[in-house]
Homo-oligomer: A and B are copies of this chain.
Amino acid sequence: MKFCMYCGGPLERAIPAGDDRLRHICPNCGIVHYQNPKIIAGCIPVWQDRVLLCRRAIEPRLGYWTLPAGFMELGETLAEAARREAREEADIEVELESLYTLFSLPHISQLYAFFRARMVSEHCAAGPESLEARLFLEEEIPWDELSFATVHRSLRLFFQDRRNGSFVFRLEDLGPDARRLRGEDGAA
């Protein structure tokens, strides 16, 4: 960030009065340009005993399998964002059940939210950002070809909770090494 989005003038880096962090400040406007974490909303779409995954047609992680999810937009609720992403990426309509996982990823300043969701029909199809969309039984999940630690972890928890007969909301922090440490073994 180099220029003020309001006046186009060059920005400076300084700690504003009463603050304790370096911010981008416009000496012309006096405006502080804050930067904030982003929210990604998605869901675990379920049809009978199968879970829907999409294969990514875009970077990052092109070609890897993912749960439908994406950046929350201005003017949306978290649930609306999750439903919209399911529609866009897999052409599915879902009824959201409870919020299931919420992950802080401080190394990339993201907050990831996944709902459990019931597909209203078996229909699914790849949207513009997907190469494929299809339903998987637990034993078919391509664990080594999943896109992100948040997806890996949510699916591990989902199948574990399903076996136990009760789904429990989880708030967790995932660092850059989360997949190795907490994903592969499926342990809580």
Interface residue SS majority, chain A: loop
Q: Which residue of B lies closest to A24 (CB)?
A: B5
Asked whether A30 is an interface residue with its Cβ less than 8 Å from the other chain, the reply is no
Chain B residues near A36 (CB, 8 Å)? 36, 38-39, 71-74
Q: Which residue of B lies closest to A33 (CB)?
A: B5
How close is A130's CB to chain B, nearest CB, in angstroms? 12
Asked whether A79 is an interface residue with its Cβ less than 8 Å from the other chain, the reply is yes
Q: Interface segment, A6-14, A145-153, A155-163?
A: A6-14
Q: Which residue of B lies closest to A172 (CB)?
A: B77
Encoded as 1 (CB less than 8 Å from any B CB) or 0, chain A from 25 to 37 comes to 0000000011111
Encoded as 1 (CB less than 8 Å from any B CB) or 0, chain A from 44 to 76 comes to 000000000000000000000000000111111
- In the complex, what distance in Å separates the CA atom of A3 from the CA atom of B29? 13
- In the complex, what distance in Å separates the CA atom of A11 from the CA atom of B4? 12
Asked whether A80 is an interface residue with its Cβ less than 8 Å from the other chain, the reply is yes
Q: Which 4 pairs between the two chains have the least Cβ-Cβ distance?
A: A77-B104, A3-B8, A74-B109, A1-B5
